[in-house]
């Protein structure tokens, strides 16, 4: 029992995304643009041979995943391990506020150093958490099947790096996940390989952050 394909899908836009505000694990809902993005992406993703759908338990990811499962009839499994990074005291703030209050830590984070964001998680810890959750769900999918994971931008990027066995410093070579866009990983004999990154239909790109 193991999936051969994993689709990693970021949630649609939220008001915090539109304001460039750190969300972290705050439970911020989709805005109207985000709901339209999720619907546009779901219209494409529902054509794929998906076997299992799992999601972060935060409402923005759940509502994004529900745009798909309402079309396909899949059971939607919630997993708190797929939540966004715990950004500690940075949550709810915009970048300028963080830079003013924590100038050294913010500068280090911007450089790609593995700092604990706002006293919360580091990128390494985040990647380990997300990769472990993805692997656990993939192991419950029938052989050769497809797992779809609805989660968050920083979480999915860190998870991709970990699943590909890349160091966190390689993250600077990857763009951020855009709202309602996804990556596709395929399992090969030596591990996962990246087939698609930041894929999405035209409708999902309207107002996308990332």
pLDDT band at 202 (very low <50, low <70, confident <90, very high): confident
Residue the block writes with tokens 């985040």 = 126
Answer yes or no: is pLDDT of 204 > 90. no
Mean pLDDT, the chain, rounded, equals 95
Read off the pLDDT of residues 70-121 as tens digits, 9 standing for 90 and up.
999 999 999 999 999 999 999 999 999 999 999 999 999 999 899 999 999 9
Query: Is-contact 10 182, C-beta < 8 A?
Result: yes
Query: Is-contact 71 40, C-beta < 8 A?
Result: no
pLDDT for 68: 98
Residues 6+ apart with CB under 8 A from 84: 23, 24, 25, 56, 58, 151, 152, 153, 154, 155
CA distance 10 to 179: 6
Would you give the DSSP letter of residue 84? Answer: P
DSSP string for residues in 22-61:
--TTS-PPP-HHHHHHHHHHHHHHTTS---EEEE-SSHHH
Read off the pLDDT of residues 142-189 as tens digits, 9 standing for 90 and up.
999 999 999 999 999 999 999 999 999 999 999 999 999 999 999 998
Read off the pLDDT of residues 28-77 as tens digits, 9 standing for 90 and up.
999 999 999 999 999 999 999 999 999 999 999 999 999 999 999 999 99
Q: Which residue has the higher pLDDT, 189 or 7?
A: 7
pLDDT for 205: 66
Catalytic residues: 11, 84
Answer yes or no: is pLDDT of 210 > 80. no
Residue the block writes with tokens 């836009």 = 13
CA distance 122 to 102: 16
Answer yes or no: is pLDDT of 140 > 90. yes
Answer yes or no: is pLDDT of 206 > 70. no
Region for 67 from its dihedrals, namely left if φ exceeds 0, alpha if ψ lies in -120 to 50, beta otherwise: alpha
pLDDT for 190: 87
Residues 6+ apart with CB under 8 A from 125: none
């Amino acid at each position: 029992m193991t999936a051969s394909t994993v689709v990693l899908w970021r949630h649609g836009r939220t008001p915090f995304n539109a304001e460039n505000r750190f969300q972290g694990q705050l439970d911020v809902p989709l805005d109207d643009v985000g709901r339209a993005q999720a619907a546009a992406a779901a219209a494409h993703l529902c054509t794929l041979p998906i076997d299992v759908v799992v999601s972060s338990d935060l409402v923005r990811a759940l509502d994004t995943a529900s745009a798909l499962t309402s079309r396909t009839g899949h059971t939607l499994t919630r997993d708190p391990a797929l939540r966004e990074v715990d950004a500690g005291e940075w949550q709810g703030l915009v970048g300028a506020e963080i830079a003013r209050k924590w100038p050294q830590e913010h500068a280090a984070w911007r450089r790609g150093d593995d700092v604990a964001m706002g006293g919360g998680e580091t990128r390494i810890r985040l990647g380990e958490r997300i990769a472990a959750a993805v692997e656990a769900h993939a192991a419950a999918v029938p052989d050769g099947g497809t797992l779809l994971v609805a989660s968050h931008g920083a979480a999915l990027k860190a998870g991709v790096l970990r699943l590909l066995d890349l160091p966190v410093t390689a993250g600077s070579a990857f763009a951020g996940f855009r709202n309602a866009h996804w990556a596709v990983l395929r399992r090969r004999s030596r591990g996962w390989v990246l087939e698609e990154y930041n894929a999405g239909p035209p409708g999902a790109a309207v107002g996308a952050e990332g």
